[in-house]
Amino acid sequence: MHKLSTLDSGFLMTESQHSPKHVGCVQIFRLPGRKRTAWLRRMLEDLKQILPGFPFDQKLRDDSLLSPTLVPDDRFDIEYHVRHTVLPSPGNDDQLVEMVSRLHANLLDRERPLWEFHLIEGLSDRRFAFYTKVHHCIVDGMTFARWFRESGSTDPEDPHSAPIWDRDERPRDLNKGDGAVRFVLDGVQKISNGVKTAASLSALGARLIQQNVFEKNRNAVLPLSAPKTRLNVPTGAARNFSIAKYPLNEFRSLAKDHDASINDLVMTLGDLAVNRYLAEKGEPPVEPLVVYMPVNLREGGNREGNLISLLQVKLASDHEHPLETLRQVRESSRSTREIYQGASTEAIQIYSLAVALLPLGEELLKLNKILPPAINMVISNVPGAPETLYFRGAETIEVYPVNTLPPAVSLSITVCSYAGTLFFGLVGGRTAVPDLKKLTVYLDEAYQEFRSLRLRR
């Protein structure tokens, strides 16, 4: 039995029919050698013989959402979790993206372990795909990326690659006793930690107010201070998915040219693309957009649950000059990290969860038309494997992240690096952003502008 942390529980509390809280990944492979679809289907049957370990063998106990607990599923059904789909001819990328859009919209069944694996065959040029989704309450992006690295092999001749559910990462509290001594010790520890967290949380709140109100720091973002846009509406159940990719070394060099990080350039491209998209709709934002920037808080060998924070970052006010956009985003990102520096992990996570719950409260109380949103979108960056990986001899050629959407937020842009390429996965609410593919067009335009600036130097 394993009790979920406060942040892990938050992904359950903020989930609804229109706002699923699972994360996903699309891996595209090429069949090895002269293998055909018969090999692929034999492989799928082999994978179904592999029973899952923790947390893939766990389901939610019927508890209050204030204290959700994972327990073993004694009726585990591999046929339910491991599925097979065949794309019709011609099997192009647009068909794959549309398929993933539909699969990603569906809630995971809370009566079963919170994951699904889909083998998708029928892609052109001897390709096939894995689409895997896992509930965010049991995994963050960093862990998800690690699982995929560990399930692959650098050896193209290795025939024994294991699927991501073939693992057993039991948290430290799984086998704790329930005796009186343990109960008392846990109680004392929770009270002590609670006092420290409350003090750190108060200090963080005071620092944000001091910076924003008294020192007029534009980068000290308070809750409910983002501009209203068409991205900030109840999303509906349907999803859109779109993809893009760029050479990692070139991307890194473009950022380094201007003393910026890869993450700074990712956020800048996202900012430019979304502002151009909104301007095309006749709705240019009146203020700089505010994004969630997930930050990894994991230390050492800690592998448990979600150890991320969602920092609110104000983006640029200038979108006419790409270099000025990048400068403003770079300074905003750095300033935001400095503001949160020194606060405890627990305090940052609780603050992030509270801010994330505000849009849900607005939506439930019908206040979203009156109050401003907390953020406009999510932009995150997850490092992946630097080397080429194979799955039972099949080369992994592309890896696209598929993120979740917070309440009342209709756009998430996630980036994953793999084998020298930066892969962008965009997820949108289909009602609010029916033409999500246009955003990837604007991403490409912004990227080419930075390339052109470099060539003119």
Say if residue 41's pLDDT is above 50.
yes
Which regions of the chain carry the CATH code 3.30.559.10? 2-151
User: pLDDT (tens digit, 9 = 90+) per residue, 163-193?
Assistant: 999 998 887 655 444 443 333 334 334 334 4
CA dist 394 to 34, 383, 443, Å? 11, 22, 30
Say if residue 257's pLDDT is above 50.
yes
Say if residue 376's pLDDT is above 60.
yes
Q: Confidence band (pLDDT; 50, 70, 90) for 155?
A: very high
List, in sequence order, every residue forming a beta bridge with 423; answer none if it has no partner: 245, 416
User: pLDDT (tens digit, 9 = 90+) per residue, 220-243?
Assistant: 676 777 899 999 887 888 999 999
Structure tokens at 189: 């520890």
Which regions of the chain carry the CATH code 3.30.559.30? 189-384+404-455
Q: Answer for the pair 401, 423: CB distance below 8 angstroms, yes or no.
A: yes
Name the DSSP letter for residue 416. Answer: E
Mean pLDDT of the chain: 84
Share of residues in the chain with pLDDT > 70 (%): 79
Q: Indicate yes or no: pTM above 0.95.
A: no
* pLDDT at position 197: 58
List, in sequence order, every residue forming a beta bridge with 377; answer none if it has no partner: 291
Which fold, 2-151?
Answer: Chloramphenicol Acetyltransferase (3.30.559)
* pLDDT at position 10: 79
Lowest mean pLDDT among 254-258, 362-366, 375-379: 362-366
Any idea how long the chain is?
457
Nearest to residue 255, comparing CAs of 177, 183, 162, 325? 325
Share of residues in the chain with pLDDT > 90 (%): 59
* pLDDT at position 192: 42
Which fold, 189-384+404-455?
Answer: Chloramphenicol Acetyltransferase (3.30.559)
Write down the residue that tokens 């400068």 correspond to. Answer: 327
Say if residue 437's pLDDT is above 80.
yes
What CA–CA distance (Å, rounded) separates 352 from 238?
26
Lowest mean pLDDT among 9-18, 324-333, 418-427: 9-18
User: pLDDT (tens digit, 9 = 90+) per residue, 285-319?
Assistant: 989 999 988 765 444 444 444 445 677 889 999 99
* pLDDT at position 6: 72
